[in-house]
């Protein structure tokens, strides 16, 4: 069996109903399901490093560009990647912005946001910082704004749990290492564990490498959806054959192309003003 590959545009069926539900515009028909699309929610793509999370996210964005008119925002992507790394057919549809602009960018156009490696911007250890408290409030109303958030992470334990509290969540599971699985959030560990079992089973005798990249599993708790669905990963030809080596690297590791100041701001937060030494009054000097 060879891994399926498509020439743009991707077939509508290349995304499972659970993912279509959140990527399509509200009210659109979902292939393989009776109900109309919700058009808003959170899709979390989970997997160990180099398991193909970001390439799968690009596949989803390619699908959004082909089958909807929704704008796409690649959060905190370096300008250079946006200008030099993206394929031509994405131009005019994709922009970048800071996550704290989510409520104002493309207002009324129901954008799809990609937060690559969400643990960098929304780490669970920074959950009470003012920006993440604001994000938590925003999560409560993303359905009102018609936003779909697509994020990738190596572990849901590393991501602020506010992502999972308010709205429809579909988790897409790729290969996860055993140590990663042991450190996963208690409320997700069994689902992720079962997804790993399905991935190993479906990859038996098939290509996919150590990272079991040929398939992924969707986990959904929504009524009327399959709780677990095995989906073959369909490669966009442009991502593997249409880009030069530098572009491919930019797409694969966009954060590697950030300026040091930018990446420092994400990891350490904005530079803090050190309190200056209080000025001495003239009178004190004179006395």
Partner 1 sequence: MTTWSRREQEYDRIAAARLARLEGGVARHVALGSRAGLSLRWKLARMGLEGDHIDHAVALVDELALARILERHPIGVRFATIPRAKRDLEIWDVGV
Residues engaged in binding partner 1 (CB under 8 A): 4-6, 11-14, 16, 32, 190, 198, 201-202, 215, 229-232, 234
CB of 228 to partner 1, least distance (A): 9
CB of 216 to partner 1, least distance (A): 10
Nearer to partner 1, 98 or 201 (CB): 201
CB 192 within 8 A of CB 200: no
Rounded Cα–Cα distance for residues 154 and 279 (Å): 49
Nearer to partner 1, 53 or 229 (CB): 229
Nearer to partner 1, 75 or 217 (CB): 217
Give Rg (Cα) of the chain: 21
CB of 180 to partner 1, least distance (A): 18
Instruction: Establish whether the linkage from the previous residue to 9 is cis, with ω within 30° of 0.
Output: yes
DSSP per-residue letters across 64-126? HHHH----EEEET--HHIIIIIS-GGGTTTEEEE-GGGTTTTTTTS--EEEETTHHHHSBGGG
CB of 114 to partner 1, least distance (A): 21
Nearer to partner 1, 138 or 195 (CB): 195
């Amino acid at each position: 069996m060879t891994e399926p590959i498509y020439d743009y545009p991707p077939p509508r069926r290349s995304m499972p109903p659970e993912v279509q539900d959140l990527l399509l515009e509200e009210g659109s028909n979902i292939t393989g399901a009776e109900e109309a699309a919700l058009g808003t929610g959170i899709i979390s793509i989970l997997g160990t490093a180099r398991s193909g999370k970001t390439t799968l996210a690009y596949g989803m964005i390619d699908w959004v560009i082909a089958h909807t008119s929704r704008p796409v925002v690649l959060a905190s992507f370096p300008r250079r990647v946006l200008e030099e790394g993206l394929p031509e057919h994405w131009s005019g549809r994709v922009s970048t912005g800071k996550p704290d602009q989510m409520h104002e960018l493309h207002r009324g156009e129901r954008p799809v946001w990609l937060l690559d490696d969400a643990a960098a911007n929304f780490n669970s250890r920074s959950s009470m910082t003012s920006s993440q408290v604001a994000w938590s409030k925003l999560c409560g109303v993303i359905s009102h704004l018609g936003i779909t958030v697509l994020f990738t992470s190596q572990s849901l334990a590393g991501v602020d749990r506010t992502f999972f509290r308010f709205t429809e969540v579909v988790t897409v599971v790729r290969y996860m290492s055993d140590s990663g699985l042991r450190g996963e959030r208690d409320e997700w560990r069994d689902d992720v564990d079962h997804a790993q079992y399905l991935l190993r089973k479906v990859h038996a005798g098939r290509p996919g490498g150590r990272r079991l990249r040929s398939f992924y599993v969707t986990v959904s708790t929504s009524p009327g959806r399959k709780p677990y669905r095995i989906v073959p990963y369909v490669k966009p030809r442009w991502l593997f054959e249409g880009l030069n080596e530098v572009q491919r690297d930019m797409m694969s590791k966009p954060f590697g192309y950030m300026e040091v100041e930018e990446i420092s701001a994400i990891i350490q937060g904005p530079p803090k003003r050190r309190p200056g030494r209080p000025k001495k009054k003239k009178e004190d000097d004179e006395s």
